[in-house]
Structure 1
Amino acid sequence: MSFPPPPYPPSYGPGFPPPRPVPGRPLTVVFAVTAGLLLAAAVAVNGLLFFGMLFASDSCGTAAGTARFCDDSGGWMLVAMFGPTVALVAAAVTVVLGTVRARRPWTALAAGVLVYAAGPALALFTVFG
């Protein structure tokens, strides 16, 4: 005569331990929130700079205009207008590649901030000399 096997897990004793939390999960959420906030701030800065660059050429007929920005080629005007947007795209690519390929999200985020800061700095330097 054979007995059926006991229920699994047994109903007596401490039972199975709860599953362990996945390491790094809270940091992933913090990184995503931080990156999202920085992206929103960068888009706001880009919008303000783009709006300001629309009117930056108004001072070209006066002594307040810079020679670099007010030349007739219009190249520096395009750099000032679209430079921050190009820098934002380059920063986003830097962060994504650094996070996915190198698996160093915080270092990639810091590098992305530095890459982005070059765009508005170039635009402001172009206008104000």
Structure 2
Amino acid sequence: MSLPPPVYPPSYGPALPPPRPAPSGPAWVGFAVLAGLLLAAAVAVTGLLFFGMLFAGDSCGTSAGTGRFCDDSGAWMLVAMFGPTVTLLAAVVTVVLGVVWARRPWTSLALGTLVYATGPAVALFTVFG
């Protein structure tokens, strides 16, 4: 005589909440279009800042250079040059994780925009003091 198989999952404890539905419809299309436009604008701003930071150190021998940016180590030049690129990558990761894991596309897009905005702000603050 054999016993019946156990019931899985066990019937005790609270049940797991149902998963959130995947985003679809016109709101999802609007999110994708807006995210694409913001990404294109961020890539353009990052490229222009990177190009501008290549030549920002030229003023370090004159009175126009700021003390923090023109120190001897060159660390602040690297922060100003690569900061927007790093924050762009961090913003993309923030938005993708927010959409995939949390299923909160609009919240993650707003958070990703704020994450990206810190990069150009730090770069411009570094150069112009």
% identical aligned pairs: 80
One-letter amino acid matched to 2:59: S
Three-state SS of the structure 1 residue aligned to 2:37 is helix
One-letter amino acid matched to 1:99: V
One-letter amino acid matched to 2:74: G
Determine the C-alpha separation between the residues in 2 that align with 1:47 and 1:37.
Answer: 15
Determine the C-alpha separation between the residues in 1 that align with 2:108 and 2:50.
Answer: 26
Superposed CA offset, 1:65-108 (max 9, x none): 01111001011100000000000000000000111111110000
**Structure 2 partner of 1:9:** none
| TM-score, normalization by structure 2 | 0.81
Superposed CA offset, 1:47-70 (max 9, x none): 110111011001101111011110
**Structure 1 partner of 2:16:** none
Please identify runs of 4+ aligned residues in structure 1 that moved more than 2 A. none
- Give unpaired runs (5+ residues) of structure 1: 1-22
1:24-63 equivalences under 5 Å are 24-63=24-63
Determine the C-alpha separation between the residues in 1 that align with 2:86 and 2:111.
Answer: 15
**Structure 1 partner of 2:5:** none
Determine the C-alpha separation between the residues in 2 that align with 1:81 and 1:24.
Answer: 38
Residue 24 of structure 1: how far off its partner (Å): 3.9
Q: Greater Rg, structure 1 or structure 2?
A: 1
One-letter amino acid matched to 1:100: V
Three-state SS of the structure 1 residue aligned to 2:48 is helix
Determine the C-alpha separation between the residues in 2 that align with 1:49 and 1:37.
Answer: 18
Three-state SS of the structure 2 residue aligned to 1:72 is coil
Determine the C-alpha separation between the residues in 2 that align with 1:88 and 1:104.
Answer: 19
**Structure 2 partner of 1:68:** 68
- Give unpaired runs (5+ residues) of structure 2: 1-22
Three-state SS of the structure 2 residue aligned to 1:55 is helix
CA-atom RMSD, angstroms? Answer: 1.0
One-letter amino acid matched to 2:68: R
